[in-house]
DNA sequence: TGGGCACGCGTAAGCGCTTACATCCCAATG
DNA sequence: CATTGGGATGTAAGCGCTTACGCGTGCCCA
C-alpha cells in the first residue's frame, strides 16, 4: 500500500539500465522502427525489472495524440445507456483507445466538458435538445472529431431507424382494430421521440386519420405510472398506447393492470428498446428492438476512422426490429394462469 | 467540420495576445497566485478570442497529475454496473475528476489496463476472482491509489453487506416452512456470491440443518433458465431457491412458471439486487436491494481523498435492504387475474 | 578493393504546460 | 529622503516522452 515508490521509473532509468539511449527504449516499447533483437531484449528486461510504465501524459504531449475517445451521455439510467456504453467501450478498446466518460444529466457541463475535450482525440455526444447550444457544438467540432448520437438535426449523426418502425408498429395496432391510439412520450425531449411520433402520425395519415397529440411525458417509470392513473380516470380511455420507451410502457402496463384493465384486450400497449423487463411482464411487452450496442460500437469505430484516416464521419442509421409479444393483443404462448403447464419459450415473432 | 484549425491556440499565443508571459496566463487560468485584475481580464479576453483550451497532456505532464480516476469493471451487463458507474461518475465529477472506463470481460487485460493506469491518478477495480492475479494488483498498487470493489479478500475493499442479509433472507424462507432450499449461484465466481452462500449456510446451521451445496451457475438469465429446466425434471425438486442475483431469479421464475410451477406456493424464489424487472414479474420477486450507486460514489470519493490527502482508503461495507414481494410466498397486493380490479401500489415491506 | 546502402542506434529538439526563483516597481516606513 | 517589504510579473528549468536527423558499421556488388 504505502511502499509506493516516490518516483516511478522513467524512460531514462530504463535506458540507463539497458545501456542504450532513451530513443531506443521508446522505439522498442512501441514497436516502431527496427531494433536489433538483442538490444530489444535488454530493453524489455530492464523495463520489466524496473516495472516501467510510460506516463500517458508525456506520450500524449510528445506524440500529440491521446489515444483516447470521449463519450458524453445525458445520464445513464436504464439499460439503454449501459448497452450503448458497452458497445462503445468494446469497440474503442479494440482500436486501442481508452474511453473517458462524461455524464451531464443536470450539471452545468461547461467545465467538465472542456476538461474532457482536452484529453481525448475524439468525442461522441448524445445530448438532450437544448442541453448543448449549437455554438458549443460548433466550437467542439473545431477542436476534435465529433460524432453525434441520435441527433436527427446533425448531418453526421448515427442513430437507429425510428419513423418507419413507429409507423409499422402503429399500423400493427390498427390491424388489431385499435382506433383510439395515443403516443405516450414527449417529442420535444429527444430527436428519437420526435421521429417516433412522426411515424405514429404517418400511420394515421395513411388511413386518413388524425393522430392524437403526443402525450408529453418523460422517459422514466414514474412518468408512465402517472399517466396510467390519468388514463384510468377517463370516461373514454384510449384503446392503444404507443410508448416512447419500455420503462414508460411497463410502468403504465403495470399500473393499468392494477386498475383492472386487461392489457391486450381492453387496451394495447407497446414500448421501445426491448429491455429485459419487456420479456417478464404478463403479457409480454411488444416492443421495438434497437441494436443499441451496435450503435455504441459504430460511434467508436467512426471516431477511430476519423482520427486515423482524417475522413469526416458519415451518418448512419441502424435497422430496428419489432418484437411482438402479448401486450399488443397478439396471442402469446404463455400461461395466463400458471397452474396449467405451458412449456416452450416465448413466441417472439420478428418482422 | 473540416475548418478545424490545424494548430489550436497554445498558451504562448494567449500570452502574446494579452501582452504577458505564459506564466501569467497559467496563473490566471488556474486561479493560483495573485494577478492584477486588469491583467487577468486581458488574459481572459485573449483566451476567449483564441478559443484557447489547455492541452490536458501538457498540464498533466507538468503538474504530475492527471485529474482523472479510472474504473475497471468486469463487464457492464445488467443494471448493477450501470448504477455503479453513475454513482462513480457523479462523485468523480463533483471532485473535478474525469473518469476513464475499462471493461475487461474476457479480453486480455494487460495492455488496456496499463494504458489506463498510465493516465489516471487512482483506480477503482472490480474484478472476478482469478481475472486479476494478486501480483498484478500488488503491482498496480505500487503505481497509484487503488480501491477494490466487492473483493472480500482485500483489506481496503468497499462493498455491500452480504452474509447477514443472506442469512436473514434464508431464515425468512424457513419461516414460510420451506426446508429444501438451494442456493443458485457459484461462490467461486465472485466474493459477493461466496458471502451470500455463507449466509445461506449460516441460516441452516442456526437450525441445525445441513445446507445443500451451492448450484454453480453464472449470473445471466440463460443460467437461470437452464437450471430451471433441470429442476422441472427432478422427482423431488427444492421448495425454495435463493438466487445469487435477480437476472438468474427472474429467468428461473419465468421458466418454472412455464413448466407449470406456481411460484410462492410450490416453490419460493428470491433474487438479489432488486433490479427493475423484479417489480414486474408475477408474483413480484423478493430480493435484496443494495445501494449500488452509493457504492460507486463511495469508491470515487475514497480515491479522491487518497489522491488529495494521501491517506490510505479504508474499507467500507454498505447496508442492504430486503424487499419482500410475492415470490417468497408472502401475500402480495397484486391482481392474480388482472380482470378483477386491485388498486394500490405494490406492497413492499422492507426490513 | 572501394563505393554505396541498409540498418541500428544516438543526439537533440521539441511537445505545451507548471512553478520555483528572480526581478521590478511602488507604497509604506523610519 | 533612503530603505524596505511585498505584490505583480517575467525567466527559465524542467515534466517524460517522440521523432527527425545523422553518424557509424558491416555487407554486397561491381
Question: What is the per-residue pLDDT across B23-65, written as a single tens digit (0 to 9) for each?
Answer: 999 999 988 778 888 889 999 999 999 999 999 999 999 999 9
Question: What is the per-residue pLDDT across B73-84, written as a single tens digit (0 to 9) for each?
Answer: 987 677 788 889
**A181 in the same domain as A79:** no
**A114 in the same domain as A103:** yes
**B206 in the same domain as B96:** no
Q: How far is B110 from chain A (nearest CA, A)?
A: 12
- Residue B34 CA distance to nucleotide C27 C1' (Å): 18
**B201 in the same domain as B216:** yes
Nucleotides in chain D with any atom closer than 7 Å to protein CB: 7-12, 14-20
Domain total in chain A: 3
Q: b/e map of A265-287 (b: 16 or more CB within 10 Å)?
A: eebbbbbbbbbbbbbbbbbbbbb
| Closest residue to D7 (CA, C1′) | B34
Structural domain includes residue A139? yes
- Residue B43 CA distance to nucleotide D17 C1' (Å): 30
Q: Which segment of A117-121, A134-138, B94-98, B173-177 scores lowest on mean pLDDT?
A: A134-138
**B281 in the same domain as B153:** no
Q: How confident is the model at residue A162 (pLDDT cuts 50, 70, 90)?
A: very high
| Mean pLDDT, all residues of chain B | 88
**A282 in the same domain as A136:** no
User: How much is the average pLDDT of B114-136?
Assistant: 86
Is there a contact between B338 and A257 if contact means CB atoms under 8 Å apart?
yes
Give the pLDDT of residue B75: 74
Is there a contact between A89 and B101 if contact means CB atoms under 8 Å apart?
yes
**A265 in the same domain as A186:** yes
> E strands within B185-320?
240-243, 268-270, 287-289, 316-318
- Judge whether residue B10 has pLDDT over 90: yes
User: How much is the average pLDDT of B296-304?
Assistant: 94
Helix H or strand E encompassing B294: helix B292-309
Residue B80 DSSP class = H
Structural domain includes residue B5? no
Print the domain residue range for A334: 163-290+323-350
Structural domain includes residue B3? no
Structural domain includes residue B4? no
> E strands within B181-329?
181-184, 240-243, 268-270, 287-289, 316-318, 321-324
Burial label, B78 (beta-carbon count in 10 A; 0-12, 13-18, 19+): buried
Is there a contact between B118 and A340 if contact means CB atoms under 8 Å apart?
no
Please tell me which residue of chain A has the smallest CA distance to B344: A258
CATH number, domain containing residue A198:
3.40.50.2300
The three cell numbers locating residue B223 = 443460467
Give the 3-state DSSP-derived string for chain A, with helices as H, strands as E and coil as C: CCCCCCCCCCHHHHHHHHCCCHHHHHHHHHCCCCCCHHHHHHHHHHHHHHCCCCCHHHHHHHHCCCCEEEEEECCCCHHHHHHHHHHHHHHHHHCCCEEEEEECCCCCCHHHHHHHHCCCCEEEECCCCCCCCHHHHHHHHHHCCEEEECCCCCCCEEEECCHHHHHHHHHHHHHCCCCCEEEECCCCCCHHHHHHHHHHHHHHHHCCCCCCCCECCCCCHHHHHHHHHHHHCCCCCCCEEEECCHHHHHHHHHHHHHCCCCECCCEEEECCCCCHHHHCCCCCCEEEECCHHHHHHHHHHHHHHHHHHCCCCCCEEECCEEEECCCCCCCCCCCCCCCCCCCCCCCCEEC
Residue with cell 532509468: A13
Higher pLDDT, B82 or A97: A97
**B131 in the same domain as B179:** no
Q: How far is B197 from chain A (nearest CA, A)?
A: 26
Structural domain includes residue B168? yes
CATH number, domain containing residue A31:
1.10.260.40
Q: How far is B201 from chain A (nearest CA, A)?
A: 30
Structural domain includes residue B286? yes
Q: Cα separation of A196 and A202, whole Å?
A: 10
Please tell me which residue of chain B has the smallest CA distance to A144: B4
| Closest residue to C10 (CA, C1′) | A21
Structural domain includes residue B92? yes
**A200 in the same domain as A180:** yes
- Judge whether residue B338 has pLDDT over 70: no
**B187 in the same domain as B309:** no
Q: Cα separation of A258 and B161, whole Å?
A: 34
- Under 8 Å between Cβ of B70 and B109: no
**A154 in the same domain as A174:** no
State the best of B63, B77, B118 to mutate against chain A, taking most chain A CBs within 10 Å: B118
Q: Which residues contact residue A106 at a Cβ distance below 8 angstroms, ignoring those fewer than 6 apart?
A: none
- For A93, the closest of B3, B107, B259 (CB atoms) is B107
Q: How confident is the model at residue A76 (pLDDT cuts 50, 70, 90)?
A: low
- For A257, the closest of B82, B139, B335 (CB atoms) is B335
Structural domain includes residue A1? no
Chain A residues near residue B67 by CB distance under 8 angstroms: 115
- Under 8 Å between Cβ of B325 and B287: yes
**A186 in the same domain as A334:** yes
Amino acid at each position: 500500500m504505502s511502499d509506493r515508490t516516490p518516483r516511478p521509473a522513467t524512460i531514462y532509468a530504463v535506458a540507463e539500465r539497458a545501456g542504450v539511449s532513451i530513443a531506443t527504449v521508446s522505439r522498442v516499447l512501441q514497436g516502431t522502427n527496427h531494433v536489433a533483437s538483442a538490444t530489444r531484449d535488454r530493453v524489455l528486461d530492464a523495463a520489466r525489472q524496473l516495472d516501467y510504465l510510460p506516463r500517458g501524459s508525456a506520450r500524449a504531449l510528445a506524440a500529440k495524440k491521446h489515444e483516447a475517445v470521449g463519450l458524453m451521455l445525458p445520464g445513464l439510467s436504464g439499460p439503454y445507456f449501459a448497452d450503448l456504453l458497452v458497445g462503445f467501450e468494446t469497440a474503442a478498446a479494440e482500436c486501442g483507445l481508452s474511453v473517458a466518460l462524461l455524464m451531464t444529466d443536470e450539471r452545468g457541463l461547461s467545465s467538465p466538458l472542456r476538461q474532457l475535450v482536452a484529453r481525448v482525440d475524439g468525442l461522441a455526444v448524445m445530448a438532450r435538445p437544448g442541453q448543448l447550444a449549437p455554438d458549443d457544438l460548433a466550437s467542439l467540432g473545431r477542436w476534435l472529431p465529433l460524432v453525434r448520437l441520435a441527433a436527427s438535426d446533425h448531418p453526421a449523426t448515427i442513430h437507429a431507424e425510428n419513423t418507419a418502425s413507429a409507423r409499422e408498429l402503429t399500423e400493427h395496432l390498427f390491424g388489431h382494430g385499435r382506433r383510439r391510439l395515443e403516443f405516450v412520450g414527449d417529442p420535444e425531449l429527444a430527436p428519437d421521440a420526435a421521429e417516433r411520433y412522426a411515424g405514429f402520425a404517418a400511420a394515421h395519415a395513411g388511413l386518413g386519420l388524425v393522430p392524437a397529440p403526443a402525450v408529453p411525458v418523460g422517459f422514466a417509470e414514474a412518468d408512465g405510472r402517472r399517466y396510467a392513473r390519468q388514463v384510468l380516470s377517463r370516461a373514454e380511455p384510449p384503446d392503444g398506447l404507443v410508448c416512447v420507451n419500455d420503462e414508460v410502457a411497463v410502468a403504465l402496463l403495470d399500473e393499468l393492470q392494477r386498475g383492472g384493465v386487461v392489457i391486450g384486450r381492453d387496451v394495447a400497449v407497446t414500448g421501445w428498446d426491448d429491455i429485459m423487463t419487456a420479456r417478464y411482464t404478463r403479457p409480454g411487452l411488444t416492443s421495438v428492438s434497437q441494436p443499441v450496442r451496435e450503435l455504441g460500437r459504430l460511434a467508436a469505430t467512426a471516431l477511430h476512422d476519423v482520427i486515423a484516416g482524417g475522413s469526416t464521419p458519415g451518418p448512419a442509421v441502424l435497422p430496428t426490429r419489432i418484437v411482438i409479444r402479448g401486450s399488443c393483443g397478439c396471442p402469446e404462448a404463455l400461461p395466463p394462469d400458471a397452474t396449467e403447464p405451458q412449456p416452450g419459450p416465448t413466441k417472439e415473432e420478428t418482422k
